[in-house]
Structure 1
Amino acid sequence: MANYKPDLSCQSKFIPIDFAQQIIPGTFEYALSHIVDKHLDLTTFDDWYNNDNGGAAAYPPSVMLKIILFGYSRGLVSSRRIAQACETNITFMSLSGDEQPHYTSIASFVAKMKDKIEPLFTQVLMICDREGLIGRNMFAIDGCKIKSNASKEWSGTFEELERKQTKLRRASRRIIERHQAQDGLSEDEVQHDLKQKEKLDKSADKIKQFLASNEEKIGNRKKPVKSNVTDPDSAKMTTSKGTIQGYNGIAINDDKQQIIMQAQVWGSVGEQQTLKPAVEQLQTQLAKLGTPDAFNEAKFTADSSFHSEVNLEFMATTGLDAYMADTAFRSRNPLFKTSETYQTEKEKRRLKRSKGRARLFNSTDFYFNENELTCRCPAGKEMWLSVKSIETAGRHYVRFSGYLKDCRVCPLQAQCMRKVPSKQGRQVQFETNKADKYISYTDKMRVKIDSSPGRRQYSKRLGTIEPVFGNITVNKGMNKFTLRGQEKVNAQWQMYCLVHNIEKLRNSLH
């Protein structure tokens, strides 16, 4: 008969722990602890506290920074989960010296970081530069859209929010009218309806207070844009996974080791408007690193979402060798023209945008005579010259419109217009004076980026900036900001970018 040793897995055992031995060289936690303790100047945090003559002692900023940044590196975004880890995880205990801050202390520390994160970010960049991780050969910019701590259901223009408020008030009144009409309701039904009425009134009051204390946002086209009642700085954004209420995290990084040089979040601002302030902040960072003339020798890449005539004109003044794609960049590439995979995926995206509708006629399907300034539609009907001169980015166009009486009965209407015309017929415009046109910055960039060297330089962008966002959103689990307000969200975004940069230093610091 076999004789086995007893299974004592359910037995408790006290083991002496040396916290210093838990922080192993070559790991992220070692690099984090080494940088915070020996390289960062944390004296600016002293301004937060005035408790030397009374009150409880505060948790050291070094401890708070360590546990928060380490929590972010392990996908712990919420303050409650970080506080719990300080009680149960040996690495968190080692970093904190067995301090166990309450989750409210952690949340308060993160919320106040908006005034302290910039100098810390710069100090870490200086360490990266000292370790030779910044090459200054090429910089790449891109944006990452992340959900905010606000529901998109609370978004709308002021007119839409007023309608929603009226609708909520009407629903609240209907509950009272129902009670007046039906005296025989049970006590449970009455309590349920009263709670529902209280909820409706509270929501309506929330909208009323927001409308009274905020000004309506006006977009680039001088039209009202949607505001969010919960987080007014956030905005509705379209992503590959649908529409979200969130922020766009912009980052510029260096191509040598993917070090993030500049980071900032934006709400209801298009990516085109973020390029100039981002590049100016990058120049400021490089000056702090002691290389203010780095722009004269560096390259810069950006995708089509940053492309505009204004941005190209600005980039021409910076000294950077810029490569910025336009929306037709892929379609001009001979490799993509003959690629069945690209054409198939392009058609899938078009069908998704158009909700399965067939492709409509474009300008190439119309018959335009530039000398006589006449135009006929695909059905053979004459069109009238509605606008004789349109100037955009140094180019001149003319616009024609179809006669409403022709478009309403046209047999090709389904292939030409999205909806049945009610006010005007189909419009189409053509470029004129191509031979003697003004050579714009867009034209110059198109020639530059379509060349073999240009395509080769631009192709490096994908491997420079995209892995950074993959690391932050997937590996680090940053798929939703926990704070509200652009300043606080910006601090949280920069802290995640700080985690990314410190992670690059873990093999350099021993």
Structure 2
Amino acid sequence: MNRKVVFKTYSQEQLSLLPPSYDDLVPKNHPVRIVNTIVDHLDIVSLEQSYKGGGTSSYHPRMLLKVIIYAYLRNLYSSRKIEQALTENIHFMWLSGQSKPDHNTINDFRGKRLQKKLKKIFYQVVLLLVEQGVVSLKDIFVDGTKIEANANRYTFVWGKSIKTSKERIKKQLKELWTYVEKVYKDEQAIPNTPDFEAIDADKITATIDQINDALQGKEIDKKVKQKLNYAKKNWPSNMAKYQKQEAILKERNSYSKTDTDATFMRMKDDHMQNGQLKPAYNIQASTNNQYLTNYTIAQTTADTTTLKDHLNNHIENYNQNPETLTADAGYGSEENYTDLEDKHITAFVKYNYFHKEQLDKKRAKTNPFHPDELHYNKETDTYYCPMGQTMTNIGSYKKKTKNGFEQEIHRYQAQNCKGCPLRSSCHKSKYNRIIERNYNLIRLKAKAKTLLTSEQGIAKRKQRCWDVEAVFGNIKQNMNFKRFMLRGIDKINVEMGLIAIAHNLNKYSLTI
């Protein structure tokens, strides 16, 4: 039996008695409404005060802030695509009140107006979420991830290369002076030797002039003369260039010429999975319940040296210390443990070899020659090697880390390792074995181990994996944000703040 097919009425010429309102076309609890409500509750007085009076009227910063946050929530990062959405997408048109700022206005607002101001806005959003009971600032999970910079991957400057070039110039200057001394070897009036230490562009020029003056009227080797001409023409300018590059580098080992704030880092998520070096920023993030509670931008590749500043940033802006902090082994250093202890924060922070220790414990496997396994007599301050020989204290010394943190190291030496049958397994030194012990670090590691292996510590370690790492997964995979659009660390702070706010509001919209 054939049934009659019935289609719904379709007519593009059909007119409405009243034109529909955009508000009627936006569903309740839609993310765009969440963005609108949250931003309406924010204090943006400092942003409004950044505008100067006079001239033509400006688009309202609250409207632009709403639009750009919602754009990031919808994975739109290009100012041109945002401009397009404002004329085609009903949600953007409703949010902007049908205002149509162009891409230049959007880009200027994002890259200039929001500098130094968006971080305060981010903290306001987090505090609103705390009021809603979905976020806690008492327990935080910290980790870092690297995001590629908007910079050329092949225009780089390396600190080691600069150092090598400077040493080469210094060496060649010394060789030229050696030639001068050779010319004057049969004369008594030998010119004063220049200072080759702490050499700079001005000193190079002065030294070359001194060499030329000393060789004036002398018979000079043709190659030496050519080298002197080349040196005078190139070396001072080269040294000036190296000095400028070192000023940009500061404590880093590299930077990109197209974004001098970006450092070359080994990226784990490279498409070839071979860890290529790319210009990037190291994003440090704190989370709770998969919400971002804080972020900071680091220009160093290692996470270890970033925790102290990251934590201080949290305390400064929220005016309170977290009660607990959970992080992986990348943050387990004496300086970090000490800082967390001083701030009275319970630290569930792993240290190097923590997992290996736990695995060896399960396998009942120990290394009897490791300093941690040697018997220590506290009363006599003496260690005993596996053969029972005493290892006496031969003194201590202090050293500073790159961050300036001072460590105290104690040294112990065996009396006589000659002829010991265990020597080849015990140590590889030609002399009697020496071990070094950092008692403060040993104490802090023991404290960390107790916390990490407690019932609460095990739960925190499990939660860290799905808390902070899930946030990075969402940003990079779901939001498809793997490369910054802007350049320069100040603008990177803005863009990371927009991503953080968009992530938090998108997650919040899913819970209501």
TM-score bracket relative to the smaller structure:
0.5 to 0.7
Q: 1:47 to 1:211 in 2, by over 3 A?
A: farther
String of CA shifts for 1:302-344, please: whole Å, max 9, x gaps: 1111111111111101111111111212222249967xxxxxx
Q: Distance in 1 between matches of 2:439 and 2:125?
A: 52
Of the three residues 300, 305, 310, the one matched with 2:335 is 310
User: 1:47 matched to which residue of 2?
Assistant: 49
Q: 1:209 to 1:132 in 2, by over 3 A?
A: farther
Of the three residues 326, 342, 364, the one matched with 1:301 is 326
Structural mapping, 1:27-426, within 5 Å: 27-37=30-40, 39-51=41-53, 53-55=54-56, 57-112=57-112, 113-157=114-158, 160=161, 213-216=244-247, 225-241=253-269, 242=275, 243-254=277-288, 257-268=289-300, 270-287=302-319, 292=320, 295=322, 298-334=323-359, 396=410
C-alpha deviation, 1:231, in angstroms = 1.0
Aligned residues: 394
**Contact conserved, 2:63 with 2:96, CA < 8 A, in 1?**
yes
Q: Distance in 2 between matches of 1:104 and 1:280?
A: 36
**Contact conserved, 2:145 with 2:472, CA < 8 A, in 1?**
yes
C-alpha deviation, 1:137, in angstroms = 4.2
User: 2:233 matched to which residue of 1?
Assistant: none
String of CA shifts for 1:231-280, please: whole Å, max 9, x gaps: 111111123232321111111122xx333221111123632221111111
Q: Distance in 2 between matches of 1:155 and 1:327?
A: 32
C-alpha deviation, 1:8, in angstroms = 9.2
Q: 1:42 to 1:14 in 2, by over 3 A?
A: farther
**Contact conserved, 2:248 with 2:260, CA < 8 A, in 1?**
no
Q: Give 1 or 2 for the bigger CA radius of gyration.
A: 2
TM-score (norm 2): 0.65
Q: Distance in 1 between matches of 2:349 and 2:108?
A: 41
Q: 1:227 to 1:9 in 2, by over 3 A?
A: same
C-alpha deviation, 1:508, in angstroms = 7.0
Q: Distance in 1 between matches of 2:488 and 2:384?
A: 56
Q: 1:21 is paired with a residue of what secondary structure?
A: helix
C-alpha deviation, 1:458, in angstroms = 2.4
**Contact conserved, 1:147 with 1:246, CA < 8 A, in 2?**
yes
TM-score (norm 1): 0.66
Q: 1:12 to 1:145 in 2, by over 3 A?
A: farther
C-alpha deviation, 1:12, in angstroms = 6.8
**Contact conserved, 1:234 with 1:485, CA < 8 A, in 2?**
yes
String of CA shifts for 1:431-467, please: whole Å, max 9, x gaps: 7377999844234323432445433332222122111
Of the three residues 29, 44, 49, the one matched with 1:26 is 29
Amino acid at match of 1:498: I
C-alpha deviation, 1:133, in angstroms = 1.9
Q: 1:505 to 1:459 in 2, by over 3 A?
A: closer
Amino acid at match of 2:447: K
Of the three residues 468, 472, 481, the one matched with 1:478 is 481
Q: Distance in 1 between matches of 2:346 and 2:439?
A: 27
User: 2:503 matched to which residue of 1?
Assistant: 500
Q: 1:13 to 1:63 in 2, by over 3 A?
A: farther
- Name structure 2 gaps, 5 residues minimum: 166-237, 270-274, 364-368, 375-382, 388-393, 400-406, 415-427
Amino acid at match of 1:299: T
- Name structure 1 gaps, 5 residues minimum: 165-206, 339-362, 375-386, 401-424
Q: 1:40 is paired with a residue of what secondary structure?
A: coil
Q: 1:87 to 1:448 in 2, by over 3 A?
A: same
**Contact conserved, 1:144 with 1:248, CA < 8 A, in 2?**
yes
Q: 1:327 is paired with a residue of what secondary structure?
A: coil
RMSD, aligned CA = 4.4
Amino acid at match of 1:135: S
C-alpha deviation, 1:128, in angstroms = 1.1
Q: Distance in 2 between matches of 1:372 and 1:502?
A: 59
Q: Distance in 1 between matches of 2:431 and 2:296?
A: 39
**Contact conserved, 1:134 with 1:259, CA < 8 A, in 2?**
yes
Q: Distance in 1 between matches of 2:477 and 2:122?
A: 22
Q: Distance in 2 between matches of 1:128 and 1:428?
A: 63
Amino acid at match of 1:40: L
**Contact conserved, 1:248 with 1:266, CA < 8 A, in 2?**
yes
Q: Distance in 2 between matches of 1:99 and 1:430?
A: 76
User: 2:458 matched to which residue of 1?
Assistant: 455
C-alpha deviation, 1:219, in angstroms = 6.9
